[in-house]
Structure 1
Amino acid sequence: MAKSAPDEEVVKHHAEEIVPVETPKKWTGLIWDTFDKSPEERKFLFKLDAAILTFASLGYFIKYLDQANINNAFVSGMKEDLGLYGNELNYMQTAWTVGYVIGQIPSNMVLTRVRPSIWIPAMEVIWAVLTFSLCRADSAKTIYIIRFFVGLAESTFYPGMQYLIGSWYRKDELAKRACIFHTSSALATMFSGYLMAGVYHLGGIGGFKGWQWLFIVDGTISLPVALLGFILLPDVPETTRAFYLTKPEIAFAQRRVQLEGRKGREPYTWAKIRKIFSSWHIYVLTLLYVTFNNGGQGAAPVFAQWLKASKKPKYSVSQINTYPTTTNAVQVVSTLIYAWMSDGVLRGARWPPIVWGAVWNIVTAASLAYWDIPTGWHWACYILGGMGGGLSGLIMAWGNEICSNDNEERAIVVGSMNEMAYVLQAWLPLIVWQQVDAPKYQKGFITISFISALLIATAFLTKYLHDREIKQKQRVSFSDSSSSEEVEQVRVDPDSKNLAKEVQG
């Protein structure tokens, strides 16, 4: 695909100034990467962060608020009001998952052809309206149907935003942004607990129960965020028309990702499809994300149900909804630590935090599977289980980097990673997280232990295959060093001093 004119001029003019990536020269760059860049690039990244991260975090917040609210509504009166004494909660989650699974890869393929600033917010508006409608559900069957379409609308968001983030940021910037984005899910789950504790007392007002008010408030929060996306999302560098970016900054953005080795859009062809599905990328990266996403306690409200089943002491509805938020707090803190360590101290290595989080999953899940442990360790296991829940952004950043040479592959692989994780979630909870096994869930905790061990093995396999691929590319680059293609194998100096002159001009 032909590059834009500003891109060609910039690359031609500055080709001789391109040097390989170096580690940050100032310690402040380890705190936040823009501190080690020129004022012009810092200004550009501030604009980009303010737009993309604001919308991404708010959008993911409302997505997870919606997901968590089903569990919170269930333990706050919905179960009794609708007579849900079997595995209905499992089926509600599965209905959402089926819709979510169906939409992801097609949606990410659409994003390579339709502006993200139109497609993603439009789907958010639809799911906000559907969330409102849950307050009127009077049977499990009605909830199943609505949840399916909520999942279908939500399928555009997470893989779509990870693709978008991967379209703009460099390697030393990517994990922090992806993880900041992901922490909003834990914050939403925390907020949902406090929200349920608050709106529960609205029960009776307007003829609605407390759990029904939860969905009304949820929809009220969601709709303005969805509309904000039409204004803030910048699309991708080669098609952006964001009002807050100048023309020189757009050319600057295009050159940044070019020199990062990230390719622009190309047509879908059978040759490209065959290439994508004959590569190890889609299979190993998908397995990596599947084992992460199904190797934690999030498949069931285990902490809340343990509290609800407790006889001595007996916990209130407010306590049942708020105490489990400590797990999410641990997830937020650990996620940010992983991101800063990976981008900075670990120099872009993604696998060490992944292995660390998986080890904690095994420790906590194995303890809970045994069950006959001190009450204090019960609390610790539920809370520290959050240390394995913050790996999504790192894994997505790794996938974006590994697939940077093919835009369409990157979109499909990111979609496949998230989609197949939820394919497993569509049926696995029905077997190992059955509501009738609450609160012990022994099968669920044993499953976490084994899946987390597989996550560790897959992380090492990904590292081995990626390292081997890099060495093969380096050999090809060395043997063809006189070729003009060498320009695309190197990156900008982190100082970006020469690059910034163009923006300043």
Structure 2
Amino acid sequence: MKFIPTIRHVADDLAIEAVTDEQELVIEYRDETNRPWWKFFDEYEYRQNSYEKSGHKWFKWFDERDTKEDKKLILKLDLLLTCYSLAVYWVKYLDQTNVNNAYVSGMREDLGFKGNDLVNVQAMYLLPFMFMLPKVPLNIVIPAMDLCWGIMTLLCCKIHSVAALKVIRFFVGVFESGFVPTAYFLMGSWYKPSEVARRAGFFYMGQFLGLLSSGLLASAALDLDGVGGFEGWRWVFIVDAIATLPLAVIGFFVIPGTPDKCVSLFLTDDEIRRCRLRMKPYATETTAVEKKKFFSWELWKPLLTTWRMPLLVLVACIFFNNNSGTSGSFILWLKSLTDSEGNQRYTNQKINQLSSVAPGLGFVYVYSASLFADMFKCRWGAIAITQTLNFIGCVILAVWDVSEAAKWFAFCLQYTSWSMSPSYFGWVSDIMRHDPQAYAIVIVAMNMMGQSTQAWVSVLVFPTEESPRFTKGFATCAACAFGCVVGGIAVLYFYKRDEKRICHKNGIILVGSAVECIEAEKDNTTDRKESIKGDDIKVDDIRVSASSESVNYQ
């Protein structure tokens, strides 16, 4: 049936590929003799030459050199991928944060929560569910996960004990945990590295939309208290499930798979060919690099013996523990506030409404960070700025004995922590662009290890019985924020070192001093080194155009 998504067998146009392969690359000759020290912080110094940089404007959604057909294609991909991913991420966080909202709306009293029961429930949904992304049909997997966690969320309205809630939340976590790495892998398969940051920023706003609307929906659900025999907090889960389940059906028809295994009902054959051609230089397709057996040492050796996987996973683990928002600290603090007579200052509805303030500001933080990364070609800078603000907020909360206004300020900075995610994960997509199989392993490992550490760290540093003053928790988040800054600079160092070695492939020829040039072979088993001096330059597989450029540091 033509309305059921199936793999599209679209042959590549060899004539067009041959013409594309023959296109000339503008070369920039760059004298490194008097290179200033501060160029170390220029992330794209060896990634793009001046000609390529001039074709990308931060305030424009498309690149300057995108054709009319390319813009139409990218816009279609944005509707199919970015908008759908945002919607699913929104309901994902609705289903994750509804426990906090239900907890302060009567569930604690009805189910008899004690001690750290709330933290133990939250840890359940952080357990990872790892699978191999290049091998799964994404148009089946993502909707299936969405459907399953939506059903589990709906079942929460029927629970009558903390133990039952833990079991159901465990399965919610199993089905939810694979979505983020899958979404990033999907975007990395269809978008160029220079296009990922803005899309990832837009997609990641779904997280804050979930946090923001969760409190508002919970407040509205409390008005349904008694309807159908359900308490108001039970309606929180019902409303979230109603928002979740339709997206599972839509995803089956919307998700296009990957360019190599496309199942889209909305892309034409020519558009599929164009997508493959656009992504060919970045080796994001399985046809670009021969796939290795998953348990072979040939696959794992370069991952484990180079800096990429160990460092990227380490920074991810630090990043996953830099946020205090998921602990419910803000909403628990609001609930602890009292008036002059010692009574609870805000009603449950008002608490749910005020709890939307911090994630609402997260919209501004996450997209501002993504724009900064694009505008200044500085992903490490976006990480450093957001985590510095996060560090300040966490230190204020760790001190705690400050004015109420200072606490409001600190809680409003909570979600600067997550704002580095689009920049960092987009950077990882760029770093791992030469091998899609290795990229899939690294992106899943980052989420798997990050979520695993978050599961036990949250239990240790955010015990509910210490609320709302989580001294250990806020101090841990401050330390992790600082660690993210240090980790980002470390990634910058190794990233630039590797890009410098292959800068001739990016249209940059270093002259004026002895420069090491490493040509990576397809099998990644041998490296060829050249010494390039003055005008004595030899570069394979690059045709230099007559209009080359020259850059000298004065």
CA shift, 1:28, in A, is 6.1
8 Å CA contact retained: 2:10, 2:272: no
Q: 1:7/1:428 Cα in 2 relative to 1: closer, same or farther (>3 Å)? A: farther
Aligned to 1:218: 240
Residues 35-92 of structure 1 deviation map (CA, whole Å, 9 limit, x = unaligned): 6632111100010000001210111111111011011111111101001021111110
Residues 171-219 of structure 1 deviation map (CA, whole Å, 9 limit, x = unaligned): 2211011111111001111000000000011111111111111111111
Name which of structure 1's ranges 449-458 and 19-28 shifts more when overlaid on structure 2: 19-28
Letter of the structure 1 residue corresponding to residue 380 of structure 2 = W
- 1:287 is the counterpart of 2:317: no
Aligned to 1:267: 291
Which residues in structure 2 correspond to 1:305-324 (within 5 Å)? 305-312=332-339, 314-324=345-355
* More strand, by proportion: 2
CA distance in structure 1 between the partners assigned to 2:451 and 2:170 by the alignment: 13
Equivalent residue pairs, number: 477
CA distance in structure 2 between the partners assigned to 1:147 and 1:176 by the alignment: 32
8 Å CA contact retained: 1:369, 1:446: yes
User: Could you tell me which of 23, 27, 39 is aligned with 1:17?
Assistant: 23
CA distance in structure 1 between the partners assigned to 2:313 and 2:353 by the alignment: 33
CA shift, 1:18, in A, is 4.7
Aligned to 2:208: 186
User: Could you tell me which of 263, 266, 275 is aligned with 1:241?
Assistant: 263
After TM superposition, which residue ranges in structure 1, 4 or more long, deviate above 6 angstroms?
none
Letter of the structure 2 residue corresponding to residue 399 of structure 1 = V
Letter of the structure 1 residue corresponding to residue 176 of structure 2 = E
CA shift, 1:362, in A, is 1.1
Aligned to 1:330: 361
CA shift, 1:467, in A, is 0.8
Aligned to 2:115: 86
Structure 2 SS opposite 1:30: coil
Structure 2 SS opposite 1:476: strand
Residues 288-342 of structure 1 deviation map (CA, whole Å, 9 limit, x = unaligned): 2222221111231111111101112701111211212111122111111111221
- 1:296 is the counterpart of 2:326: no
CA shift, 1:386, in A, is 2.2
Structure 2 SS opposite 1:6: coil
Aligned to 2:501: 472
8 Å CA contact retained: 1:35, 1:42: no
8 Å CA contact retained: 2:219, 2:349: yes
- TM-score w.r.t. the length of structure 1 is 0.90
Aligned to 1:461: 490
Residues 353-389 of structure 1 deviation map (CA, whole Å, 9 limit, x = unaligned): 1011111111111111111111111111101222222
Q: 1:306/1:158 Cα in 2 relative to 1: closer, same or farther (>3 Å)? A: same
CA distance in structure 1 between the partners assigned to 2:65 and 2:277 by the alignment: 19
CA distance in structure 1 between the partners assigned to 2:323 and 2:370 by the alignment: 19
CA shift, 1:425, in A, is 1.2
Structure 2 SS opposite 1:372: coil
CA distance in structure 2 between the partners assigned to 1:29 and 1:14 by the alignment: 26
User: Could you tell me which of 421, 433, 440 is aligned with 1:404?
Assistant: 433
8 Å CA contact retained: 2:189, 2:285: no
Q: 1:82/1:35 Cα in 2 relative to 1: closer, same or farther (>3 Å)? A: farther
8 Å CA contact retained: 2:369, 2:386: no
CA distance in structure 2 between the partners assigned to 1:272 and 1:84 by the alignment: 47
Structure 2 SS opposite 1:315: coil
CA distance in structure 2 between the partners assigned to 1:481 and 1:119 by the alignment: 47
Letter of the structure 1 residue corresponding to residue 394 of structure 2 = A
Aligned to 1:497: none
For the aligned residue pairs, the C-alpha RMSD in angstroms reads: 2.2
8 Å CA contact retained: 1:361, 1:388: yes
- 1:376 is the counterpart of 2:415: no
CA distance in structure 2 between the partners assigned to 1:456 and 1:65 by the alignment: 29
Which residues in structure 2 correspond to 1:400-439 (within 5 Å)? 400-439=429-468
CA shift, 1:25, in A, is 4.6
CA distance in structure 2 between the partners assigned to 1:482 and 1:420 by the alignment: 40
Letter of the structure 1 residue corresponding to residue 179 of structure 2 = F
8 Å CA contact retained: 2:282, 2:434: no
- TM-score w.r.t. the length of structure 2 is 0.82
* More helix, by proportion: 1
User: Could you tell me which of 223, 234, 246 is aligned with 1:201?
Assistant: 223
Which residues in structure 2 correspond to 1:33-72 (within 5 Å)? 33=62, 37-72=66-101
CA distance in structure 2 between the partners assigned to 1:123 and 1:164 by the alignment: 15
CA shift, 1:274, in A, is 2.5
CA shift, 1:23, in A, is 4.6
Aligned to 2:35: none
CA shift, 1:8, in A, is 4.2
CA distance in structure 2 between the partners assigned to 1:383 and 1:177 by the alignment: 25
Letter of the structure 1 residue corresponding to residue 306 of structure 2 = S
Name which of structure 1's ranges 181-190 and 311-320 shifts more when overlaid on structure 2: 311-320
